[in-house]
């Protein structure tokens, strides 16, 4: 099949999921066309089945905000016609599904029918989409999609609660590339760079927004390191990073916390990690937790959103109510204080992650593409 993937070219979340999905589809022989305003971070163009088309937005003094949706829909029309693209797969309801629908209508005027699959990732629903300014457009875009998927049951339920949705929503969970992670873990990075032999390594990875509850990460670690020797790896960047650094200073633990910023060596850091902290206010799925588990790292997380669908209580880690800092620290110590217990949780975390391997999830998308195409021919 010839498939166009529309996504944000971001470091994490939906951008990474869309990129990895496209690359794996290309390896299976499909022709993939990424259409976005910048080359996705993880996109490698060495596969002859992978193509990237940049959306350029001309600047005009008339516009206070440049109309990206117009540029994207026009680009989609041009690329569909030029490359005979058969399926549109857009990630995020707005602006991508909105632009995709406009492209479909323009193509229809020229006698070209093309199905659109919309994947909901979370922020497009819970934060942006539910705003009164955007809610009608989001509802319209979802209902005008030929097939709609969400990355978790929790997000599906939230979408149906917030919007008047007529379409069925199919849950297709996020995934992990276990083979790729296994290859990258055979690296020259040494554990001693991050911590001493007697110290447990604890890691948090995020975009450092308020929803991630970064102060909770620091406070949980502060409690842990009072009982056992430990180091905290903080990976990522965002508006809460400076406050986190200040909190570490106030608590007197700056020498035990390393702030990496955004990193392309996440898997290497996780390969030496003993425990992952994700006390978020909400997570539509919990991809960071899954990435940790795929490296054999147990997870201490909140029980909000889709996290219970990824982190299995008492198996791959523990779940607590949002803000339950003391309980999260206690659960962390249950895992970390015993070598045998830690080894068992590590083994279980990897076992749970295997259920989300891309090889198991990708056929679900392929079947949906075929279903969408069949709808067009009826």
Helices (DSSP H) in the chain: which residue ranges?
Answer: 14-27, 68-83, 98-109, 123-126, 135-143, 153-162, 178-184, 214-225, 241-251, 266-271, 287-294, 325-336, 339-353, 358-377
Cα dihedral 60, 64, 69, 74 in deg (nearest 10): -10
Q: Are 122 and 287 in contact (CB under 8 A)?
A: no
pLDDT attached to residue 58 = 78
Tell me the pLDDT of the chain (378 aa) as tens digits: 999 999 888 655 777 889 999 999 999 999 999 999 888 766 766 788 999 999 988 777 766 667 888 999 999 999 999 999 999 999 988 889 999 999 999 999 999 999 999 999 887 676 655 667 788 888 999 999 999 999 999 999 999 998 999 999 999 999 998 887 766 555 545 788 888 989 999 999 999 999 999 999 999 999 999 999 999 999 999 999 999 999 999 999 999 999 998 887 888 899 999 999 999 999 999 999 999 999 999 999 999 999 999 999 999 999 999 999 999 999 999 999 999 999 999 999 999 999 999 999 999 999 999 999 998 876
pLDDT attached to residue 182 = 66
Q: 169-171 and 257-261: which strand pairing?
A: unpaired
What is the spatial distance between Cα 330 and Cα 210, in angstroms, rounded to a whole number?
A: 23
* Cα within 13 Å of Cα(49), Cβ side: 15
pLDDT attached to residue 41 = 67
pLDDT attached to residue 267 = 85
What is the spatial distance between Cα 336 and Cα 343, in angstroms, rounded to a whole number?
A: 9
Report the predicted TM-score, pTM, of the whole model to 2 decimal places: 0.88
- Cis peptide bond prior to 95, omega within 30° of 0: yes
Q: Radius of gyration (Cα) for the chain, nearest Å?
A: 22
pLDDT attached to residue 47 = 83
Q: Are 66 and 92 in contact (CB under 8 A)?
A: no
What is the spatial distance between Cα 114 and Cα 269, in angstroms, rounded to a whole number?
A: 43
* Cα within 13 Å of Cα(76), Cβ side: 35
pLDDT attached to residue 130 = 60
Look up residue 26 and give its two tokens: 């290309």
Q: Are 68 and 37 in contact (CB under 8 A)?
A: yes
pLDDT attached to residue 261 = 85
Q: 226: which DSSP letter?
A: T
Q: Which of 251, 256, 264 is nearest to 216 (CA)?
A: 251
């Amino acid at each position: 099949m010839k498939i166009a993937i529309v996504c944000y070219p971001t470091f994490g979340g939906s951008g990474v999921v869309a990129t990895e999905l496209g690359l794996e589809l290309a390896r299976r022989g499909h022709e993939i066309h990424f259409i976005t305003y910048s080359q996705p971070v993880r996109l490698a163009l060495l596969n002859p089945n992978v193509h990237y088309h940049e959306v350029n937005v001309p600047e005009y003094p008339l516009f206070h905000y440049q109309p990206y949706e117009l540029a994207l829909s026009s680009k989609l029309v041009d690329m569909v016609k030029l490359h005979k693209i058969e399926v549109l797969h857009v990630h995020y309801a707005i602006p991508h599904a909105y632009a995709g629908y406009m492209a479909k209508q323009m193509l229809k005027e020229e006698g070209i029918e093309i199905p659109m699959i919309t994947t909901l990732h979370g922020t497009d629903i819970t934060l942006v989409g539910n705003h009164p300014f955007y809610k009608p457009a989001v509802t319209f875009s979802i209902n005008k999609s030929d097939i709609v998927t969400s990355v978790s049951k929790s997000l599906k339920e939230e979408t149906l609660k917030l919007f008047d949705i007529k379409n069925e929503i199919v849950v297709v969970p996020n995934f992990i590339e276990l083979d790729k992670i296994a290859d990258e873990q055979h690296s020259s990075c040494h554990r001693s760079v991050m911590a001493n032999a007697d110290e447990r390594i604890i890691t948090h990875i995020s975009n450092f927004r308020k929803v991630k509850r970064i102060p909770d990460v620091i406070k949980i670690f502060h409690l842990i390191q009072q009982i056992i020797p430990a180091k905290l790896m903080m990976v990522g960047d965002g508006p809460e990073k400076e406050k986190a650094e200040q909190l570490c200073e106030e608590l007197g633990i700056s020498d035990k916390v390393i702030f990496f910023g955004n990193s392309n060596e996440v898997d290497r850091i996780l390969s030496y990690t003993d425990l992952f902290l994700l006390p978020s206010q909400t997570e539509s799925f919990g991809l960071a937790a899954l990435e940790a588990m795929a490296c054999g790292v147990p997870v201490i997380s909140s029980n909000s959103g889709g996290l219970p669908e990824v982190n299995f209580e008492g198996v791959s880690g523990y779940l607590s109510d949002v803000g339950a800092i003391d309980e999260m620290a206690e659960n962390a110590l249950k895992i970390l204080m015993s070598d045998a217990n830690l080894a068992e949780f590590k083994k279980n975390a990897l076992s749970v992650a295997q259920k989300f391997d891309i090889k198991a999830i990708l056929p679900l998308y392929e079947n949906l593409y075929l279903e969408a195409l069949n709808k067009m021919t009826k």
